[in-house]
Amino acid sequence: MLAPDFKTELVNAAPILRQLIQSFTKHRILVVGDLTLDEFLTGQVERISREAPVPIIRHEGTKQVPGGAANAIYNLAKLGASAIAVGIVGDDMQGEALRQIFAEANIDTAGFIVDPSRPTVTKTRISAHARQSVTQQIVRVDRKSDALPNEAVQAQLADFIEANLDRVDAVVCSDYGEGVMMPSAIATALKHSLTIVDAQKDLHRYQGATIFTPNLPEAELALGYQIGDRFDKAARDLLALTNAKQILITRGEDGMSLFGQDGTAANIPAFNRTEVFDVTGAGDTVVAALTLALAEGATYWQAAVLGNLAASIVVRQFGTTTTTAMEMLTALEHLISEF
């Protein structure tokens, strides 16, 4: 149940929230980060192999979807925005598959830097089922490089970001720790006046970004201690660590906590607790809606509410997925009608 005070705030804010959602198509956003292809191979177990005690799976289908930073970019496009993708792909089929997925969504891939010495980061999940049984994941195979990009590739990334800063309304740094977010790329991205950082670790490298969006484990990793009920202290420490204007900690079924350098704080409850099937990629959805709202001039609270609303839709579906502005408008009306 939503607290009465929050219900009143939400109802009062509904007109501007509707306007913000309807403005998503106006904006162009640059996302720099670790582009990933998520593959899902499924099939039926026919028998156990005579060669080894492993199941033999008859292939039924393969699905390829954007993952990592690519999922944040895809979310922006599905919400109606113009998105520019910046990152590294290999000279391989996986990189071409990701390029094709983006082309079909009208996403600008001019910022794809091809590095033949590295594979496109790919996470292949192999799942199987017996007859009349549920499908379960058996193994995941990751393709990636542990080496840092060479200096020429790093320079290409920074140069492309620099050349496009004046063309975009915001820059998102989507850092999954796969080597794209090196110091030169970070420093160039932070030149924009509206920078959103979604990083799994090393938040201190993004000094002075507009807003960070760590989930609770990422916030605790950055702080070096468990937060528990010490959110005020955690907020002060995170703001000091990053020199950010705002910190938004996403907390799953406990909603979100928003803190500002000016001492403001707000808790936003989860809008959907009963129909949560899969939280995979929900953080990227939060970032996409939050960024578009801020680009339109929303307050941080309004932007966080819309990020929360978007996430409440995608967690109802299995796997990495997206939502649309129309679905968000419908979900907002449904939420308000419950009061």
Known catalytic residue at 284: yes
Indicate the SS3 state at residue 15.
helix
Q: Residues of 16-43 as b/e, b for ≥16 C-beta within 10 angstroms? A: ebeebbebbeebbbbbbbbbbbbbbbbb
The pTM of this model reads: 0.91
Q: How far is it, in rounded angstroms, from Cα 231 to Cα 214?
A: 13
Per-residue model confidence as pLDDT tens digits over 101-114:
999 999 999 999 99
Predicted pLDDT of residue 252: 82
pLDDT in tens, 58-94: 999 999 999 999 999 999 999 999 999 999 999 999 9
Looking at residue 319, its pLDDT comes to 56
Q: Which two tokens stand for residue 186?
A: 């970070």
pLDDT higher than threshold 70 for residue 320: no
Q: From the candidates 115, 175, 198, 284, which is the catalytic residue?
A: 284
Whether the predicted pLDDT of 274 surpasses 90: no
Given a contact cutoff of 8 angstroms between Cβ atoms, the answer to whether 185 and 162 are in contact is no
Q: Within 10 A of 125 (CB to CB), how many other CB atoms are there?
A: 16
Question: Which residue ranges form the domains of the chain, and what is each CATH number?
Answer: 4-36+67-121+145-337 (3.40.1190.20)
Residue 178 one-letter amino acid: E
C-alpha–C-alpha distance, residues 159 and 156, integer Å: 5
Here the tokens at position 199 are 């990083």
Residue pLDDT, tens place only, 141-169:
999 999 999 999 999 999 999 999 999 99
Taking only the tens place, the pLDDT of each residue in 213-251 is 999 999 999 999 999 888 889 999 999 999 999 999 998
SS3 220: helix
Quickly tell me which residue has 């600008």 as its tokens.
108
Instruction: Name the residue type at position 48.
Output: I
Tell me what pLDDT residue 277 has: 40
Q: Using the predicted structure, report yes or no on whether residue 273 has a pLDDT greater than 60.
A: no
